[in-house]
Amino acid sequence: MEIISRRESRTDPESGFYKRKGKTEGMHYLSHETVDSKNGIIIDVAATAGNVPDSQPYIKRIDYIEKNLEFLYRRG
């Protein structure tokens, strides 16, 4: 049986342990921005714990944008 250890902050348990090559490791949050590539405008921002992969919130954010920012698609 494999034992998996998880690091958790005693002062901010919602943060996540961030460890990537060339970056400062520790308890962090990540900001995920969605950009309208035609105009270069940030249309959505979501924060996650530092240990959440960038790909994980992607589908939720697209669904949110389609539901709540529908006017952007209609105006084309």
Q: Which long-range contacts (CB under 8 A, 24 or more apart) does 17-23 make?
A: 17/50, 17/51, 18/50, 18/51
- Longest CA–CA span in the chain (Å) reads 55
Tell me the one-letter amino acid at 26: G
Predicted pLDDT of residue 29: 93
User: Per-residue pLDDT tens for 17-41?
Assistant: 888 899 888 999 999 998 888 889 9
pTM of the model: 0.67
